[in-house]
A and B are shown apart, each in its own frame.
Chain A
Amino acid sequence: MTEPIARPPKKDPQKVTRPPELPPVQRSRAALAMSAAAARGVFALQKCAACGEIAYPPRDACPKCLSQQLAFEPGADGGEVIAETTIRTSTDLYFRQRMPWRIGTVRLDCGPSVVAHLHGDVTLPSRVRMISKLDKSGNAVLMALPERETENMADDPELRELTASPKFRRVLVTDGRSAVGQAAAAALSKAGASIIFVGIAEPWKPYPGQERLAAIPNVQIMELDLTDTISVRELSGEIGGKTDIIVNTADHVRPGGLLAQGNLVTARDSFDVNVFGLQRLAQAFGPGMRARGADGTNSAAAFVDILPVHALANTPDFGFYSASAAARHSLLQCLRAELRPGGVRVMSVFTGPVEDDWRQHVPPPKVSPGKIAEAVIAALSGGIEESFVGDVARDVAARFLDNPKVLERELGL
């Protein structure tokens, strides 16, 4: 059984904060495809279309028949550990900070033997379940977990490097007025976050769920308006040094296409929240988080943004909203690269239409705020960079991967 992590002590103001180092960054293009699968939480290996051989590590030609038809496919994740070793010293700066480090050789049921990180509860010899996760550099690495769930399994230090677990971390939920924000705050509290700061814009306006929100354990209501640069700066001045995870639940939704009469004001409002709000948040909190990516148990870990799946392709009934989501998606890609040097993950949680006031006329299936909150916790706990919540989000994403141009026509019918 894993030793449960202890609640971290208060920060020693005399100690230098451990600078974030990264595990090896460079990968081949073939290996990046494996990372892309891992980014969505999928354990995928290359399979040769010609002879059926499973190949690992990723390569450009089949080791058996030399065919170049190697595509990543979700694979059987079972295997057996056949050897282990513990590394006690290394010249690599990232691993030096984290010694000792246990690794092993696993014979996969689907064929290849692989070198992988070993969870502390894996005994030898034993059956294991393999996961493919992004490390702090954003590259897929393999880790062997015990076949069955063990106690405090998520607290394993090697596994924790591959996730952004909210346990004992301090989280900022940016908009507590929305049902999604309130559900996220409740879920984070349940998941063991030590403080959940919840932003409320224009506190002089009452909102539904106000008392319930304030009563959630470890919730602290903070004044925050993402459309106001001063407000964002003031909050980061107050809590920026101890914000480990941001969950951006702010979303300005309005129906209407590009030709709707006189909607420039509304369009601007949408961009101000969805795009520039994200920018203000990133600019105020990002640099501080990037510097605290290796700051112990409650290091800065993740920036989560909840955005509509129509970021990928425009749905004309919410034309401008989709455009703001597309801009948001693009900025998240930028932010992902900018926060990576600090080992801070940027996670996109794409949703289908949310069950809310603005989408009453949208036919089901719709996503409940509770499901979105679950997806946020799953993304943080599983280290998943891109997740899709609800049938519509999954469907749109699948069709986008298949053919974006076809999807454009389908959504525009």
Chain B
Amino acid sequence: MDMADKDATGLLAALATGIRSGGVEAVDLTHTLSPDFPVMVLPPELGQCQPFRIEEVSRYDDRGPGWYWNNISMSEHAGTHFDAPAHWISGRNLPRGTVDELPFEKLIAPAVVLDFSAESRADEDFLLTRGHIEAWEAENGRIEPGCWALFRTDWSKHLGTAKYLNLREDGAHSPGPDASAMEFLVKERDIIGFGTETIGTDCGQGNHMSPPYPAHFILHGNGRYGLQCLAALDRLPARGAIVFAAPLKILHGSGSPLRVFALVPAGTGKE
């Protein structure tokens, strides 16, 4: 066993000890998959995103005396979920762009949490720009390559109310990034992906921006990933969390619901 192996063994042992003794805290960033979790709303003549559904197969009864289980069905993009590059037309020709092929080891990565919850509270159509991120960096330090950028809006707290989708006749209204923010994060900071608390990585009015759905278009066009419908971002520190975000290994899949969680130094997460 060489030094590097010994170091790694020690590192993992320390991590295990930390998790067990409470020095390292695991924070679940996932909402419960339930039938009443809203999905993306698109014009009805287009193909529709199927919400989560569950049918009981047996529950210790005549259909199966000793066991309980269900059949579930849903869109790849229902509940807290992961978007792979192939989800968007801009990423359609990239290698390893589907969930079964993507380099999943890269998905275990440090995260920065861009807290714009106050701004999102004040403006339901709040747009995150390059300027906002630069101001954040001035305070919190530079975003390092390969990390997740998580956009905290506290929008997850609206789940269960009409405000979560915030649908009106002119479409949904919820915060999101503009193209300048995405170009900056992807091309100048080399993030692995972008995560949000809203129904998509884009803002509610994303279709009317340039390019339409800038987060989807720029992230996936550059082989980056999306996480959406995240929970509990308010429990993560601005820096120092490690996020585990591996989607299901679906053949040629464009994304998947997942159990996404973060490890944080205990006590650093804001309650």
| A→B interface (CB under 8 Å) | 202-206, 223, 225, 227-231, 262, 265-266, 269
Interface residue ranges of B36-55 to A (CB < 8 Å) = 36, 38, 41, 47-48, 50-51, 53-55
What CA separation (Å) do A266 and B45 show in the bound complex?
Answer: 10
Q: A203-B162, A269-B48 are in contact. Are A227 and B38 (CB under 8 A)?
A: no
Query: Which of B53, B56, B161 gathers the greatest number of chain A CB atoms within 10 Å?
Result: B53
Q: Nearest 6 A-B pairs (CB), nearest first?
A: A228-B35, A204-B162, A204-B165, A205-B167, A230-B35, A204-B38
Q: Are A265 and B48 touching (Cβ within 8 A)?
A: yes
Query: Which of A204, A227, A262 gathers the greatest number of chain B CB atoms within 10 Å?
Result: A204
Q: A265-B47, A269-B48 are in contact. Are A202 and B38 (CB under 8 A)?
A: yes
Q: Interface residues of A: mostly helix, strand, loop or mixed?
A: loop
Q: Given A204-B38, A204-B165, A265-B47, 7 other A-B contacts at CB below 8 A?
A: A204-B162, A205-B167, A228-B53, A229-B53, A229-B54, A229-B56, A265-B50
Q: Does B194 contact A (CB under 8 A)?
A: no
Considering the complex, give the chain B residue whose CB is closest to the CB of A228: B35
What CA separation (Å) do A202 and B162 show in the bound complex?
Answer: 9
Q: A205-B167, A206-B168 are in contact. Are A230 and B54 (CB under 8 A)?
A: yes
B46 to chain A, nearest CB (A): 10
Q: Are B54 and A205 touching (Cβ within 8 A)?
A: no
Considering the complex, give the chain B residue whose CB is closest to the CB of A203: B162
Q: Interface residues of B: mostly helix, strand, loop or mixed?
A: loop
Per-residue A-contact encoding for B156-168, CB less than 8 Å = 1, 0 else: 0000011011011
What CA separation (Å) do A202 and B165 show in the bound complex?
Answer: 11
B97 to chain A, nearest CB (A): 21
Q: Are B35 and A204 touching (Cβ within 8 A)?
A: no
Considering the complex, give the chain B residue whose CB is closest to the CB of A269: B48
Q: Are A231 and B47 touching (Cβ within 8 A)?
A: no
Interface size on B, residues (CB 8 A): 19
Considering the complex, give the chain A residue whose CB is closest to the CB of B41: A205
Q: With a CB–CB cut-off of 8 A, which chain A residues contact B48? A: 265-266, 269
Q: Are B53 and A205 touching (Cβ within 8 A)?
A: no
Q: With a CB–CB cut-off of 8 A, which chain B residues contact A206? A: 162, 167-169
What CA separation (Å) do A229 and B35 show in the bound complex?
Answer: 9
Q: With a CB–CB cut-off of 8 A, which chain A residues contact B55? A: 229
What CA separation (Å) do A231 and B165 show in the bound complex?
Answer: 20
What CA separation (Å) do A266 and B36 show in the bound complex?
Answer: 20
B31 to chain A, nearest CB (A): 15
Q: List 27 A-B contacts (CB under 8 A).
A: A202-B38, A203-B162, A204-B161, A204-B162, A204-B164, A205-B165, A205-B167, A206-B162, A206-B167, A206-B168, A206-B169, A223-B36, A225-B35, A227-B53, A228-B36, A228-B51, A228-B53, A229-B53, A229-B54, A229-B55, A229-B56, A230-B35, A231-B36, A262-B47, A265-B48, A269-B48, A269-B50
Q: With a CB–CB cut-off of 8 A, which chain A residues contact B38? A: 202, 204
What CA separation (Å) do A230 and B51 show in the bound complex?
Answer: 13
Q: Are A231 and B164 touching (Cβ within 8 A)?
A: no
A413 to chain B, nearest CB (A): 26
Q: With a CB–CB cut-off of 8 A, which chain A residues contact B162? A: 203-204, 206
Q: With a CB–CB cut-off of 8 A, which chain A residues contact B36? A: 223, 225, 228, 231
What CA separation (Å) do A90 and B180 show in the bound complex?
Answer: 86
Q: Are B167 and A204 touching (Cβ within 8 A)?
A: yes
What CA separation (Å) do A202 and B134 show in the bound complex?
Answer: 39
Considering the complex, give the chain B residue whose CB is closest to the CB of A272: B53
Query: Which of A203, A205, A206, A228 gathers the greatest number of chain B CB atoms within 10 Å?
Result: A228
Q: With a CB–CB cut-off of 8 A, which chain B residues contact A227? A: 53
What CA separation (Å) do A83 and B96 show in the bound complex?
Answer: 89
What CA separation (Å) do A228 and B164 show in the bound complex?
Answer: 20
What CA separation (Å) do A329 and B239 show in the bound complex?
Answer: 60
B108 to chain A, nearest CB (A): 33
Q: With a CB–CB cut-off of 8 A, which chain A residues contact B53? A: 227-229
Q: With a CB–CB cut-off of 8 A, which chain B residues contact A203? A: 162
Q: Are A266 and B47 touching (Cβ within 8 A)?
A: yes
What CA separation (Å) do A262 and B46 show in the bound complex?
Answer: 12
Q: With a CB–CB cut-off of 8 A, which chain B residues contact A229? A: 53-56
Considering the complex, give the chain A residue whose CB is closest to the CB of B46: A266
What CA separation (Å) do A269 and B46 show in the bound complex?
Answer: 13
Q: Are A231 and B50 touching (Cβ within 8 A)?
A: no
A207 to chain B, nearest CB (A): 10
Q: A203-B162, A265-B47 are in contact. Are A231 and B35 (CB under 8 A)?
A: yes
What CA separation (Å) do A206 and B173 show in the bound complex?
Answer: 13
Q: With a CB–CB cut-off of 8 A, which chain B residues contact A205? A: 41, 165, 167
What CA separation (Å) do A203 and B53 show in the bound complex?
Answer: 17
Interface residue ranges of B251-268 to A (CB < 8 Å) = none
